[in-house]
Amino acid sequence: MESRIPLPTDNIYKFYALFGLLLVIFGFGALIFVNQSTNNLIYDITVEHQILNNTPEELRTVPENARFNILESKLKISKQNKNFYLICIGFIIFIGCFMIGYGFRVWHMVIQPMQDEITRLNIKKLKQDVGEE
């Protein structure tokens, strides 16, 4: 099976830079997904939670009281999970940015000048060989 997407396997620094770019893109997508899914969960829970919260505790039945406690726990846990996911995704985006910076810098400042010099010398040698014949 042949891949239709050519991967830059000729240079590890190109790979670092492009993999870092992939991490950043997917990291931002994950940020949007986590934010949206947490907001949807909170919006779904908040209405019932507020209705039960406005009902005096003495007037709530045992199932309503249990439901209120569960909803309160869900709200608290969803906020904690969102913070944890955002920290993890932020770390992944940071690693991706570091890989992009390091990969492109080394590729552009170290590897590419050497490849340009090799190409220049090969052209010079080929011109000399053609001139000698």
pTM: 0.74
Select the more confidently predicted residue: 115 or 31: 31
Number of structural domains in the chain? 1
- The pLDDT tens digits for 57-99 are 888 888 888 998 999 999 999 999 999 999 999 999 999 999 9
Residue 74 lies in a domain: yes
Instruction: Render pLDDT for 24-57 as a digit per residue (tens, 0 to 9).
Output: 999 999 999 999 999 999 998 988 888 888 888 8
Whether the pLDDT of residue 132 is over 80: the answer is no
Residue 4 belongs to a domain:
no
Q: Which domain holds residue 56?
A: 12-132
pLDDT of res. 48: 87
For residue 90, tell me if it sits in a domain.
Answer: yes
> Could you tell me if residue 5 is inside a domain?
no
- Residue 79 domain flag: yes
Q: Is residue 60 part of a domain?
A: yes
- DSSP-assigned letters across all residues of the chain: ---SS---TT-HHHHHHHHHHHHHHHHHHHHHHHHHHHHHHHHHHHHHHHHHHHS-TTTS-HHHHHHHHHHHHHHHHHHHHHHHHHHHHHHHHHHHHHHHHHHHHHIIIIIHHHHHHHHHHHHHHHHHHHHH-
1 in any annotated domain: no
- Determine the pLDDT at residue 96: 96
